Structure 1
Amino acid sequence: MAIDLDKLSRDELVKLISDAEKALKSLETRRKAEAKRAAEKAAQEYGFSLDDVIGGGSAKGAKGSKGAPKYAHPENPEKTWTGRGRQPNWVKEWLESGKSLDDLKI
């Protein structure tokens, strides 16, 4: 299926790109579904469900999992921080004012 792109108008090229992106999304969706079915089948061969293998158990080692908050903003308790990663600005400001991180512990 060779398409001579030089002979297409701008509108035809834009439509071709749009159609190709839709086709690619559809292909990825189908492939993900196939991969999920294959993973479920493999897990069942070992006597597990897919959830048992990848999601059900422990949050330990789960990429991107958030820990429990350890610190809270003194005036707005909805602002919290786990103590991991970058410090929120409100924590930085608190520390720069000479106050202790222990004062923010929940």
Structure 2
Amino acid sequence: MTEIDLNDLSLAELKTLEKDVAKAIAYFEGRKKAEAIAALEERAKEFGFKLEELTRLAPTKKRPASEAKYVHPENPSVTWSGHGRKPQWINAGLAAGKSLEDFAI
């Protein structure tokens, strides 16, 4: 392997090298994953199965989207369910002296 003196490289050359290394790593990992999948498919075939039959996971249950509880005062198409982080327009309203009830649907 060739040694590279990183101290001799400019910032642009270092950034190019960084991108090239990231691409090489991604390519290497992709190739190794493909090899692993091929080996697993071959092994499953020896037992009379397809790999997808053995790795199929139970379907996850998705929760329905929460209903909106608060509405933007100037744009009724913008809503918030009350879950998660408060949107900026709620924070701005609260900072202006309003309460959450002022935004309630």
TM-score in terms of structure 2 length = 0.57
Q: C-alpha separation between the residues in 2 aligned to 1:41 and 1:24?
A: 26
Query: Would you say 1:20 and 2:14 are equivalent positions?
Result: no
Q: 1:50 to 1:5 in 2, by over 3 A?
A: same
- Partner residue of 2:33? 32
Which SS does the other structure have where 1:66 is aligned? coil
Q: Which runs of 4+ in 1 moved over 6 A?
A: none
Q: 1:69 to 1:4 in 2, by over 3 A?
A: closer
Q: C-alpha separation between the residues in 1 aligned to 2:65 and 2:20?
A: 49
Name which one, 1 or 2, has greater alpha-carbon Rg: 2
- Partner residue of 2:99? none
- Partner residue of 1:66? 60
Instruction: Report the alpha carbon displacement of residue 66 of structure 1 after superposing the two structures with TM.
Output: 2.7
Paired residues of 2:6 and 2:14 also in contact (CA < 8 A): yes
List alignment gaps of at least 5 residues for structure 1. Answer: 60-64, 76-87, 91-106
Q: 1:14 to 1:68 in 2, by over 3 A?
A: closer
Instruction: Report the alpha carbon displacement of residue 74 of structure 1 after superposing the two structures with TM.
Output: 9.3
Q: C-alpha separation between the residues in 2 aligned to 1:30 and 1:53?
A: 22
Which SS does the other structure have where 1:14 is aligned? helix
| Alignment size in residue pairs | 71
- Partner residue of 1:9? 10
- Taking only the aligned residue pairs, the percentage that are identical comes to 35
Q: C-alpha separation between the residues in 2 aligned to 1:4 and 1:74?
A: 58
Task: Return the letter of the residue paired with 2:10.
Answer: S
List alignment gaps of at least 5 residues for structure 2. Answer: 70-80, 84-105
